[in-house]
Amino acid sequence: MSQDSVRLERRDHIARITLNRPEVLNSFNNGMFTRMLAVLAEVSGDRSLRAVYLTGAGRGFCAGQDISGGVPEGPYGAHLEKHWNRVVLGIRHLPLPVVCAVNGVAAGAGANLALACDFVVAAAEASFIQAFVNIGLVPDTGGTLTLPQLVGRARATALLMLGDKLPAPRALEYGMIHAVCPLAELETTAWALAARLAGMPTLALGLTKRLIDVSYGNDLRTQLVAEGEAQTIAGHSADHREGVQAFREKRPPVFIGR
Ligand code: T3D
């Protein structure tokens, strides 16, 4: 496993994760999966962290599965379960907001990796391609669930079945991503968002992320109960006490993330 295929740095309570195989547009091979899962486990266990920033090195964000060496051995479903599904779930299960700075093309599972994050900020030059169909595969990594939710069935069907390139400004029009900016401003813009999130009540943000995820399978009654349970937890937090205190004292709150 190459430690360098996915870089992990920490600054200002933010974990910066960089996909780092630029010569293949950061497509994933087995070593990179191992490293990515180790990085996600490390981030998950670090209570000092309050936000995550994910990006790619070089001119691409991620071109999905590395297909340069042929195809994975064994059933693809088993490969997905062992690798991609764990990466996607690893991101969704992090109790931290994840900002994805899409610096270039995001194709196949790479596009859905970006969409698994809580916020996607893309360079205007970037694009999203549901490239699976172009090599005779079905969309995976959650794309058949995430994309219809984000853009509606008609647009999702076209993207998933036609496999065309969707430029980032169009993805923004579709409501698929959070923001677009010039490539030269991507780092500053996306990092500022991560820094803002890192100063917010982390526990409440993590619970909100969870509530959004469970909402897809819930009816209203079940969701109301889930909200009540989460609110009970948030209601016991130091950040809730601080928020109310700050309101009463007419000053900005200073959240500590607990
Ligand atoms: O169980 C399973 O494994 C199934 C799981 C599937 C998950 C998936 O992600 S399936 C989809 C896999 N990804 C693709 O099919 C995308 C393939 N790549 C492309 O279509 C194009 O590269 C792009 C549209 C993404 C970008 O095009 P362009 O013209 O900007 O760049 P390029 O010249 O094609 O690529 C630059 C280099 O990256 C090139 O290498 P070279 O010629 O300079 O030595 C290219 O071969 C390499 N590269 C790009 N994508 C991949 C890749 N190498 C390995 N695997 C890739 N996916």
| Cα 67 to ligand 1 centre (Å) | 7
* Block residue for tokens 């997905």: 80
Q: Which two tokens stand for residue 63?
A: 């071109």
CA distance 238 to 113: 33
What are the pocket residues of ligand 1 if the criterion is a CB atom closer than 6 Å to any ligand atom? 24-25, 27, 63-68, 72, 76, 79-80, 105, 107-109, 129, 131-132, 135, 137, 140
Q: Which two tokens stand for residue 198?
A: 């890192």
* Block residue for tokens 């064994």: 74
Write the pLDDT tens digit of every residue in 161-181: 999 999 999 999 999 999 999
Residue 220's pLDDT is 98
Cα distances (Å, whole numbers) of residue 106 to 25, 44, 128: 9, 24, 5
Phi/psi class of residue 70: alpha, beta or left (left: φ > 0; alpha: ψ in -120 to 50)? Answer: left
pLDDT(144) > 90? yes
Q: Which of 21, 24, 84 to mutate to test the pocket of ligand 1 (most atoms within 8 A of CB)?
A: 24
Write the pLDDT tens digit of every residue in 99-138: 999 999 999 999 999 999 999 999 999 999 999 999 999 9
| Cα 66 to ligand 1 centre (Å) | 7
Residue 72's pLDDT is 73
pLDDT(252) > 90? yes
Nearest CA to ligand 1 atom 17: 63
Residue 1's pLDDT is 54
Residue 65's pLDDT is 97
Residue 69's pLDDT is 85
DSSP string, 165-180: EEEHHHHHHTT-SSEE
Residue 3's pLDDT is 75
Instruction: Tell me if 14 sits within 8 A of 198, measured CB to CB.
Output: yes
User: Helical H runs in 11-52?
Assistant: 30-44
pLDDT(182) > 90? yes
Work out which ligand 1 atom sits closest to the CA atom of 134.
15
Residues 236, 242, 244, 248, CA torsion sign: positive
Percent of the chain with pLDDT strictly greater than 90:
97
Mean pLDDT of 227-240: 98
Instruction: Tell me if 255 sits within 8 A of 200, measured CB to CB.
Output: yes
Residue 200's pLDDT is 98
Nearest CA to ligand 1 atom 49: 24
Mean pLDDT of 194-202: 98
Q: DSSP strand E in the chain: where? A: 6-11, 14-19, 51-56, 60-62, 98-102, 105-107, 119-123, 127-129, 165-167, 179-181
Write the pLDDT tens digit of every residue in 36-65: 999 999 999 999 999 999 999 999 999 999
pTM here is: 0.97
Instruction: Tell me if 194 sits within 8 A of 52, measured CB to CB.
Output: yes
Write the pLDDT tens digit of every residue in 89-98: 999 999 999 9
Q: Which two tokens stand for residue 111?
A: 């596009």
Nearest CA to ligand 1 atom 2: 76
pLDDT, the chain, mean: 97
Nearest CA to ligand 1 atom 24: 107
Mean pLDDT of 203-225: 97
| Cα 182 to ligand 1 centre (Å) | 24
Cα distances (Å, whole numbers) of residue 101 to 56, 60, 114: 8, 11, 8
Nearest CA to ligand 1 atom 40: 24
Longest Cα–Cα distance in the chain: 63
- Fill in the DSSP letter of residue 17: E
